[in-house]
Structure 1
Amino acid sequence: MRLRRFLLRYYPPGIILEYEKGGYLRTKSIDLLDLTPETNPDDLVSEIRQAEPLITESRSEQVKELVLRLQEKQGQQDHHRFCFCKELKAHILPLTNVAFNKSGSKFITGSYDRTCRVWDTASSTELCTLEGHRNVVYAIAFNNPYGDKIATGSFDKTCRLWCAETGKCFHTYQGHMSEIVCLAFNPQSTLVATGSMDTTAKLWDVESGQEVATLTGHTAEVLSLCFNTTGDQLVTGSFDHTVAIWDVASKSRVHTLLGHLGEISNVQFNWDCSLIVSGSMDNTCKLWEAVSGKCVATLVGHTEEVLDVCFDLSGQLIATASADGTARVFSATTHQCLVTLKGHDGEISKICFSPQGSRVLTASSDKTARVWDIQSGACLQVLEGHTDEVFSCVFNYEGDTIITGSKDNTCRIWY
């Protein structure tokens, strides 16, 4: 094994090693999720060296420089204030979803008008339209971190794979018996997972266009799914009140997570793949151990359905959005509610952390999105201007650009 070079990852903090083994170029990451500006870099470098044989004495100084750069990034205060930049009349019918590529240089919009459009973020110009679906384009995703492919899932029961540059359709994945409502690429970009109203999830091969597996066992719609960061497990959440963990290699179900008393609205792994969070129409969130499938906590406090839930990139925090018009931030370790975010006049359907983890973004039926400080719970900004429900909101990788999508057929870019 020979180390070729280091790559830096700011969010969440980590160092990627690019190395040669058996004539092939490979990568492995050293996650530094507990890094703070106060961490002693020399102590950390010696810890890393003990755990990683690829890093020799001669590379120590280089690794220390990378750690210092990560700490410098962490020490930068996030005072960014977002200004409205542009409104895109993106589609002739309401939007369904918005998604960025890894760098945030491009984003995509799905719509009831049966198309997906690719946009250049900086110039706000449309790069191409992905046409071919015969019904609503509901679920969309880039194959991040690469960003050269796009998957679209439709109410026409198919998923399509497209070239992000040219808009050419590589494959149409056929086999679901009902609408596709969620999808995800695995981190290696070799598989696409789709979830459907037909109660199944399917795995598809990106290269060949063939179906790899049908994951059966849910008794109602599969409404959300997520790969873990290593790509060896998939989690699915269903209207049957259950969450399932699947082993990707064997295509078999590892655990069924029982305990929710209502439909599952969203499921997500944390970064180190140790925990899963689920939000439910039973007004609660649950935290589960990925290995054992055991419920470790039930996060309570909302008085109506939990419509969305997510981890921050470090996996230390959980944010929840509810039909009660509030959002909450919980500690993933103590399970305590750290702050309640109040101010919206309608249900909150979407929530996400900034990459830095210091801000939360919410989208609401009150026609606004809001940016919140997670320490104080203060609303830092109200993003106004949409004339109908805002159902989608997303940060770019640097956390300095936001896109909001609305039922008013437009999306807005905020810098």
Structure 2
Amino acid sequence: MKLKRFLVRYFPPGIILEYEQRGEMKTKAFDLLDLTSETNPEEVVDMIMKTEHLVTIKRRDTVIELIKNLQEKLKVPVDKTYGLFKVLRAHILPLTNVTFNKNGDRFLTGSYDRTCKVLDTSMGTTLFTLEGHKNVVYSIAYNLPFSDKIVTGSFDKTAKMWSANDGSLYHTFKGHTAEVVCVQFNPSSTLVGTGGMDTLAMLWDVESGKCVSNLQGHTAEVISLQFGQAHNGKHLITGSFDHTVILWDVHNGRRVSQLIGHDAEISAAVFNFDGTYVATASMDKSIKIWDLRMGARDLFTLAGHTDEVLDVTFDNVGKQVASAGADNTVRLWDVKDFSKPSFIFKGHEAEVSKVTFNPQGTVLLSASADKSARTWNTTTGKVIQVLEGHTDEIFSCAFNYDGSKIITGSKDNTCRIWQ
């Protein structure tokens, strides 16, 4: 084996070794999920060198500098406030979703007007419009981290894959018999997963556009779908209105486990970064944490919301869980102690439908039907800022890659860029 170069992954922190073995290029990642700005870089390098012979004494100083670079990215002003940069009325009908590409210099908007727009973040201009769906474009995704392809899922029962560079259409995925409401690329960008109101999830080959797996097992609508990042996306989870989540083996399309325990519809299901836990949110007012190392065991039930839980998410390193509820609150939980929330964030005057962490995990962003979004300090539990100006419900929000920008999408037909 011959080491070719080092790559860094800022969020979550990690160092990737690119090496050649028998004429084939391969990569190996060292996840530094416990890295902080106070960590001693030399101790981290010594730990890596004990298990990885490609990191030699000769390369020790290089790796130390890479770790210091990662630490600088973790130093962010926690109480940063965001000013309104642009108000974009890109669609003639309400938006359904917004999402950034890897670098945050472009973002997507889906809409009831049957189109998806690709927009320039710094200019606030539409670069091109993805047209061809015959009904609402409900779900949208980039193939992260590459960001050179886009997938859109529609109420017209199809999904489409496009070039993110010029908007040309690669494939139309036909096979669902009802609305497609969730889509995602796997981490290596070789597969697209789609979930539909027909109780099915399907896996599609990116190159050929053909269906490679028809995932049958749910008895009601599939409304949530996510590939795990661990083991190069070996596993997929699907959440359903049948009250369950299914863990699938992507390689053979077989069901590994069915997560049974909720008493009502699933609203969201997510992996943590290293694939050890799954968090599920339900209309039964609870969140459950499942340990995949123990046969998808129901580890904890996080109670306290007094109405339906509409969203749940892990931070980048998997140390915190946040939930959003129809009881107008956001709750933050520490993975080391699920016995009670670290904080209950109060201030929204209507249901909170979306919650997401900044890349560093220091700020939480929430979107609400009260027409506002809010940022919260995850260390103090205090509200940092109320992002106001939308004239209807905000249903989607996102940070860009380094957390310097926010985008909010609303039923008022507009999205807003904050920076």
Output the TM-score relative to the length of structure 2: 0.98
Q: C-alpha separation between the residues in 2 aligned to 1:190 and 1:165?
A: 18
Tell me what 1:349 maps to: 353
Q: Give matches, 1:2-401, under 5 Å.
A: 2-229=2-229, 230-291=232-293, 292-335=295-338, 336-401=340-405
Contact 1:366 1:389 survives alignment (8 Å): yes
Tell me if the contact between 2:186 and 2:227 (Cα under 8 Å) persists in the aligned partners: yes
Kept after mapping to 2: 8 A contact 1:201/1:214: yes
**In 2, Cα distance between the equivalents of 1:103 and 1:24?**
28
Displacement of 1:65 after TM fit? 1.4
Aligned-residue offset at 1:390? 0.3
Q: 1:14-54 CA deviation, whole Å, 9 max, x = no partner?
A: 11111112222222211000112232222221110111122
Counterpart residue type for residue 122 of structure 1 = S
Change (3 A) 1:158 1:72: same
More deviation, 51-60/107-116: 51-60
SS at match of 1:49: helix
Question: 1:71 deviation in Å?
Answer: 2.2
Shift of 1:76: 3.9
Q: In the TM superposition, what is the alpha-carbon distance from 1:329 to its structure 2 partner?
A: 0.4
* Equivalent residues of 1:150, 1:161 under 8 A apart: yes
| Residue type of the alignment partner of 1:320 | S
Greater Cα offset, 178-187 or 53-62 = 53-62
- Distance (Å, rounded) in 1 between the aligned partners of 2:79 and 2:4: 37
Offset at residue 374 of structure 1 (A): 1.0
CA contact (8 A) 1:339 1:375 kept: no
Secondary structure of the residue aligned to 2:50 is: helix
Deviation at 1:334, TM superposition (A): 1.4
Partner secondary structure for residue 139 of structure 1: strand
Describe the SS at the equivalent of 2:342: strand
Q: Which amino acid aligns with 1:360?
A: L
Q: CA deviation at 1:69?
A: 2.0
CA offset digits 1:78-112 (Å, max 9, x no partner): 34210001111010010000011001010000000
CA distance in 1, matches of 2:223, 2:367: 19
Q: TM-score with structure 1 length normalisation?
A: 0.98
Return the letter of the residue paired with 2:24: Y
Cα distance in 1 for partners of 2:267, 2:332 equals 17
Indicate the SS of the match to 1:48.
Answer: helix
Separation in 1 of the partners of 2:79 and 2:373? 18
Contact 2:269 2:312 in 1 (8 A): yes
Alignment partners' CA distance in 2, 1:295 and 1:312: 20
Gaps of 5+ in 2: none
Is 1:404 aligned to 2:412, yes or no?
A: no
- State which drifts further: 332-341 or 102-111: 332-341
The one-letter code of the counterpart of 1:387 is T
Offset, 1:263: 0.5
CA distance in 2, matches of 1:130, 1:72: 38
Change (3 A) 1:46 1:224: same
**Which amino acid in structure 2 is aligned with residue 192 of structure 1?**
V
Mapped partners of 2:394, 2:74: distance in 1: 31
Identity in percent: 56
Aligned counterparts of 2:361 and 2:245: Cα–Cα separation in 1: 26
The 8 Å contact of residues 155 and 181 in structure 2, kept in 1 or not, is answered as yes
2:250 partner letter: V
Report SS of the residue matched to 2:62.
Answer: helix
Question: Deviation of residue 378 (structure 1)?
Answer: 1.1
Please say if residues 79 and 377 of structure 2, whose CA atoms lie closer than 8 Å, have aligned partners that are also in contact: no
Partners of 2:99 and 2:73 in 1: CA distance = 25
- 1:51-78 Cα distance to aligned partner (Å, 9 max, x none): 1122112111111111222223323433
Query: Shift of residue 299 of structure 1?
Result: 0.7
Paired residues in the alignment total: 415
CA distance, structure 1, for counterparts of residue 6 and residue 161 of structure 2? 32
Q: Structure 2: how far apart are the matches of 1:304 and 1:149? A: 38
Q: 1 CA distance for matches of 2:69 and 2:84?
A: 31
